[in-house]
């Protein structure tokens, strides 16, 4: 393949990479020679397609390279003062100039001079007088090699960056997979515990109903006895009065009813937690289905109740929203992460507000707290894997990253509004129905 730059032909035979030197033209060439006539001759040869900068000594060449750069150097071997070999030695010690190709120009054509030039790091050697076609051919060849090298370095740097990024993404994916598996294991354990608790809770609740009925029957019988107390003799009445006084019958009757009522409420609460635990875990149900968002939030609130109850009051502002197509267990995990984070952001007593609404075919869940807020310089990083603002040992930095991936999988979005010292709001937006591809899988 041939490319032309203002009269110069470059022959490129790389089938894999269409390397085009035209984008680098005109090339800056530094010509170093103490003979002004020779410099004028070389400039005339290179007048088309090159930007030739000329200096008349080694010292001037070194000074030029301190402040400027060149694509190639044409260097006289023997000059008064600093020789060409000394200039090349100086160039090789400077990192920014060490890769510039140097072609020596010299009247000396003996093997010793040529050998010294190449050993010093020159890429080529031309004897004076220099022929135009040979000079242009050598200059073009080394310019092409130089820019191919730069191109290759850029490609290597680009591929290295891609590999590093891919490796980071792989590590993140592996860690999140482990986190998901951990959550699944916890879900299985939770479901098993819920099942085991549900059975004794069931018969305790049933026994309480029976006990309450039995106590009512006993109190009815006691009332009948009290009705006919007056017909008993004085000794019997005195004995009954002592027993009543000992057991404080009036208080006992009222307190038993209260105890039964409180116990019944406690059992109902346990059953509610167990049902929420089962609802939250959804073991093995990582499939798309139509689910009620409010039920998912409520079950999650029951699960994280202990994390929140001493820190904040939860206010729910549920709007009229449709059931949506989702993977409920995954969304519950997202709600749990945001609610726990909200509780951790509140130092003493605060508020957590949950608001839902629907606009068109999208549902919005907004979770706000009046906690410490997130500094502006950290807001862009909160969804990055392993990033956390919590103290060491208090968080893995995976909760929000995993939540982001789950919402992304649901074709949704998460927006953040936070002000340091005033609180944070996460706004989750989800489609009511997933795209057709997801619907078919569901």
Read out DSSP for 293-349? HHHHHHHHHHHTHHHHTTTEEEEEE------EEE-HHHHHHHHHHHHHHHHHH-SSS
At 3 the pLDDT is: 40
> Mean pLDDT, to the nearest integer, of 202-209?
78
> Mean pLDDT, to the nearest integer, of 270-290?
67
> Mean pLDDT, to the nearest integer, of 268-275?
73
> Mean pLDDT, to the nearest integer, of 294-309?
85
Q: What's the pLDDT tens digit per position in 91-138?
A: 888 777 778 899 998 888 888 888 888 888 888 898 888 888 888 888
CA–CA dist 426, 415 (Å, integer): 6
Q: Which residues lie across from 413 on neighbouring strands? A: 429
Q: What's the pLDDT tens digit per position in 34-58?
A: 989 998 988 888 887 788 999 999 8
Rg of the chain over CA atoms, in angstroms?
Answer: 43
pLDDT of 159 strictly over 90: no
CA–CA dist 117, 105 (Å, integer): 10
In sequence order, which residues have a C-beta less than 8 Å from that of residue 353 and are 6 or more positions away?
314, 315, 317, 366, 367, 368, 369
Q: What's the pLDDT tens digit per position in 396-432?
A: 445 687 888 889 889 999 998 988 888 999 999 999 9
> Mean pLDDT, to the nearest integer, of 60-67?
88
pLDDT of 286 strictly over 70: no
Cβ pair 426, 367 in contact under 8 A: yes
Classify each residue of 171-190 as buried b or exposed e, where b means 16 or more C-beta atoms within 10 Å of its C-beta.
ebeebbeebbeebbeebeeb
At 184 the pLDDT is: 56
Cβ pair 43, 52 in contact under 8 A: yes
At 252 the pLDDT is: 81
Nearest to 182 by CA among 401, 407, 409, 398: 398
At 297 the pLDDT is: 93
CA–CA dist 343, 336 (Å, integer): 11
Nearest to 406 by CA among 190, 167, 179: 179
Q: What's the pLDDT tens digit per position in 243-262?
A: 878 888 778 878 888 888 88
pLDDT of 387 strictly over 60: no
pLDDT: which is higher, 229 or 427: 427
Q: What is the mean pLDDT of the chain?
A: 79
pLDDT category of residue 433 using cuts at 50, 70 and 90 = very high
pLDDT category of residue 283 using cuts at 50, 70 and 90 = very low
Q: What's the pLDDT tens digit per position in 168-196?
A: 777 766 666 655 555 555 555 566 666 66
pLDDT category of residue 6 using cuts at 50, 70 and 90 = very low
> Mean pLDDT, to the nearest integer, of 386-393?
50
Among 167-171, 314-318, 367-371, the range scoring the smallest mean pLDDT is: 167-171
pLDDT category of residue 11 using cuts at 50, 70 and 90 = very low
At 182 the pLDDT is: 55
CA–CA dist 372, 419 (Å, integer): 8
In sequence order, which residues have a C-beta less than 8 Å from that of residue 377 and are 6 or more positions away?
none
Cβ pair 397, 385 in contact under 8 A: yes
> Mean pLDDT, to the nearest integer, of 273-281?
64
pLDDT of 18 strictly over 80: no
At 212 the pLDDT is: 83
pLDDT category of residue 278 using cuts at 50, 70 and 90 = low
């Amino acid at each position: 393949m041939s490319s032309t730059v203002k009269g110069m032909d470059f022959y490129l035979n790389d089938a894999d990479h269409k390397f085009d030197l035209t984008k680098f033209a005109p090339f800056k060439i530094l010509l170093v020679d103490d003979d002004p006539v020779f410099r004028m001759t070389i400039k005339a040869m290179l007048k088309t397609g090159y930007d030739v900068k000329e200096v008349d000594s080694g010292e001037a060449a070194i000074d030029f390279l301190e402040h400027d750069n060149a694509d190639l150097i044409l260097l006289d071997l023997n000059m008064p003062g600093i020789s060409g070999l000394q200039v090349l030695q100086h160039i090789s010690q400077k990192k920014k100039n060490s890769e510039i190709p140097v072609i020596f120009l010299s009247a000396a054509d003996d093997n010793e001079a040529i050998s010294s030039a190449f050993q010093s790091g020159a890429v080529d050697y031309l004897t004076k007088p220099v022929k135009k076609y040979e000079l242009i051919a050598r200059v073009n060849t080394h310019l092409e090699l130089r820019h191919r090298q730069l191109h290759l370095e850029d490609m290597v740097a680009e591929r290295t960056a891609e590999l590093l990024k891919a490796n980071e993404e792989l590590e993140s994916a592996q860690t999140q997979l482990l986190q998901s598996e951990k959550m699944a294991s916890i879900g299985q354990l939770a479901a098993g515990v819920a099942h085991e608790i549900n059975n004794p809770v069931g018969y305790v609740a049933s026994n309480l109903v029976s006990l309450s009925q039995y106590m009512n029957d006993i109190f009815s019988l006691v009332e009948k006895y009290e009705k006919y107390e007056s017909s008993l003799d004085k000794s019997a009445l005195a004995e009954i009065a002592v027993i009543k006084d000992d057991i404080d019958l009036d208080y006992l009757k009222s307190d038993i009813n209260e105890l039964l009522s409180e116990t019944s409420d406690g059992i109902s609460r346990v059953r509610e937690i167990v049902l929420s635990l089962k609802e939250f875990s959804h073991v093995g149900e990582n499939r798309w289905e139509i689910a009620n968002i409010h039920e998912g939030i409520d079950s999650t609130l029951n699960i994280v109740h202990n994390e929140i109850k001493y820190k904040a009051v939860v206010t729910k502002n549920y709007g009229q929203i449709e059931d949506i197509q989702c993977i409920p267990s995954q969304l519950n995990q997202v709600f749990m992460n945001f609610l726990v984070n909200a509780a951790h952001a509140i130092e003493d007593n605060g508020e957590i507000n949950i608001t839902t609404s629907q606009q068109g075919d999208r549902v919005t869940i907004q979770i706000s707290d009046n906690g410490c807020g997130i500094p502006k310089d950290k807001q862009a990083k909160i969804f990055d894997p392993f990033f956390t603002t919590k103290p060491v040992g208090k968080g893995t930095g995976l909760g929000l990253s995993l939540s982001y991936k789950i919402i992304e999988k649901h074709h949704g979005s998460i927006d953040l509004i936070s002000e340091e010292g005033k609180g944070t709001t996460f706004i989750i937006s989800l489609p009511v129905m997933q795209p057709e591809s997801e619907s078919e899988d569901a």
